[in-house]
Chain A
Amino acid sequence: MNKIIVFKSLIYKPYFYFLLFLVLAGINPFLISGNNPYTTNLSGRLEPPSAEYLFGTDNLGRCVFSRVMHGARISIGAGLSILLLSLLFGGTLGILSGYFGGWVDEFVMRITDIFMTVPTIVIALVLAGSLGPGTKNVIIILSITMWTGYARMIRGLVLDIKNRHYVETAKTIGLKNSYIMLRHILPAILPPILVMATLGMGRNIIMISSLSFLGLGIIEPAPDWGAMLNQGTAYMRTAPHMALFPGLFISLTVLSFNMVGDELGSPGNGSQFFMGAGNPGSQKGIR
């Protein structure tokens, strides 16, 4: 019942449909664009947008529109994989350190501190330099660098929840720690995690594009938005559409994810996703 409330407020939001469109494009890009993103056509290079090539063609005569659509799969797919991996790793460490406290907490948090002292992009660049480019490597590299924020945040949430009366009562029943963490603590911290995840998704897409832009991420001929942006910069004067559209899609996607996160985080929405039970007054939602 509470789940419907979330989507009800999202139904009126255009950015939600933009993301749905991108997900659809990611699942089957040929549904949306008829052209093959890998077919080169040297006689028709750098053509401006037309009816056949909605976003024009690039320096090898490939259809930019179909490349952008195929890029959605990489951006959203890789972004989601990074999100899940880093959330799993950071979340596990965060819950453990928050729940047990003491030296476990100290140990995990000092490691997190070490990671956080160095800017994310620097670690990512160093790792990318040593591992080399490629989609799989990008996912590994960014998962390694992105988990710290989640660990920190989830630890803080657990610290709050673990002092609730019902967690103590669960201990007096004699339930196992692992059970208490999964059944009593995790559901209570899910709504903020959900918000964090949508916001993190935007950040992930930017990071993937940044690495690709620098030539250390996803490489040609795979159609990645960041790599396309990188190529487009060389033709900025003669064919601005080459850089414009991938750039636009990066911005719009990140913006949409952030807006969804914002919407979920606003009172009466995300907080009710799972927490409606704790809030008897707001069963029907605030809006």
Chain B
Amino acid sequence: MKNLLSVKELKLVYDSPAGKAHALRGVSFNVEEGEIFGIAGESGAGKTTICRLLMGFMGKNAGISGQVYFNGDDILKLNHKDLYRLYSRKIGFLPQSIASLNPLLTIGTHITETLKKNLKVKTKKILKQKAIYILDALEFSDSGQVYNSFPYQLSGGMNQRALLAIAFCCFPNLVIADEPFTGLDPDLRDHLLETVRILKYKKNISMVIVTHDLKVIEKICDKTAIIYNGSFVETGETKDVIKTPLHPYTRSLIKAMPENGMIPTWGFAPGALYNDAGCSFQPRCPMGSKEKKKHIVSFPVSAGNNHYVWCLNAKN
């Protein structure tokens, strides 16, 4: 399969009063056509930063380096106009919360304004037909009524589905989801994930899902990357990463899942200001390095089947 999105050595460094802050420390991954790529990690690890960079939202700040190739174009080098042309037609964005719906506009307006941007035929009737079609596809029982409702008239789950409709209505090649379905109950979340999966298969849409919910990763993602303190610690097929985790951080994340006993890992991530050459998980690492030796892990260790881990102590 063809590579749709390929990210190479993406870095973001910015100046803070306390010194240089490394929000991202060189992240590389590929997303193939029709593939769902999940990125999981704790708060402050740089998940949303990746999203914003992939959308080209950070502008052309001095601190950004690396390349984000989408269909052969480097998104970080595109100008404003070309970038806006890509949005919602080629790259869709699925935001986190229902605060992303304008309370003064109906769901229908939200969808039609997205369609209007990308369709050649812009008569009201056709726009409405298309909007109703996509709402039907998302299993709304009464699409006509939802079309005319304001966000406050719908429940949280319905609003989430409306957000899905907005992100998917033009059937983009790639959808970037920034912590989707956070704060929903598990049943509804699973239902929405199923909807996403069906949409994805029907239209061969690739996705990048950024989340801190390993359940989402487990249920829907083909490939997974675990991010810690601005750098990937483990990447690979989801089943490999979740079933046979190699990095101690991934293991601690899996141990912290509800069905595995919710065992926490002590300590906090060192933060963006951490600037040692070694592994940034070393201070919290349960696997020893009692000699306080700094491991230099600038390259991953392969564990076969595209499974990579950035740890020298990883047991095979």
Contacts and interface: CB of A to CB of B under 8 A. Distances in A.
Interface stretch (B83-91, B183-191, B267-275, B302-310): B83-91
B88 A183 contact: no
B113 A183 contact: yes
Interface in B109-128: 113-114, 117
Given A183-B113, A280-B152, A173 B100 contact: no
A6 B102 CA distance: 22
Interface stretch (A139-147, A163-171, A193-201, A227-235): A163-171
Interface in A272-287: 274-275, 277-280
Given A173-B87, A173-B88, A174-B87, A165 B104 contact: no
B117 A175 contact: yes
A175 B85 CA distance: 9
A275 B104 contact: yes
Given A172-B55, A174-B86, A175-B113, A277 B103 contact: yes
A188 interface: yes
B100 A165 contact: yes
Give the one of A165, A169, A179, A187 with max B CB within 10 A: A169
Interface in A157-216: 164-166, 168-176, 179, 183-184, 187-188
B88 A278 contact: no
A168 B48 CA distance: 14
Interface residues of A, number: 23
A99 B99 CA distance: 19
A120 B27 CA distance: 58
Prevailing SS type, chain A contact patch: helix
Interface string B79-98: 00001111111000101010
Contacts of A165: 95, 97, 99-100
B105 interface: yes
Contacts of B114: 173
Given A187-B104, A188-B104, A277 B97 contact: no
B150 interface: yes
B101 interface: yes
A278 B150 CA distance: 9
Contacts of A184: 102, 105
Contacts of A188: 102, 104
Contacts, number: 65
B84 A174 contact: yes
Nearest to A188: B104
Contacts of A176: 84
B81 to A, nearest CB: 10
A173 B93 contact: yes
Contact of A169 (B83, B84, B93, B103): B93
Contact of B88 (A174, A275, A279, A280): A174
B12 interface: no
Contact of B166 (A173, A187, A274, A277): A173
Given A165-B97, A166-B101, A173-B117, A277 B152 contact: yes
Give the one of B104, B113, B117 with max A CB within 10 A: B104
Contacts of A175: 113, 117
A278 B100 contact: no
B254 to A, nearest CB: 31
Contacts of A171: 57, 87
19 contacts: A165-B97, A165-B100, A166-B99, A166-B100, A166-B103, A168-B95, A169-B95, A171-B87, A172-B87, A173-B87, A173-B113, A174-B83, A174-B87, A174-B89, A175-B113, A184-B105, A188-B104, A274-B104, A279-B152
Interface of A: 164-166, 168-176, 179, 183-184, 187-188, 274-275, 277-280
Given A165-B99, A179-B113, A183-B105, 7 more contacts: A165-B95, A169-B166, A171-B57, A173-B113, A173-B114, A174-B88, A277-B104
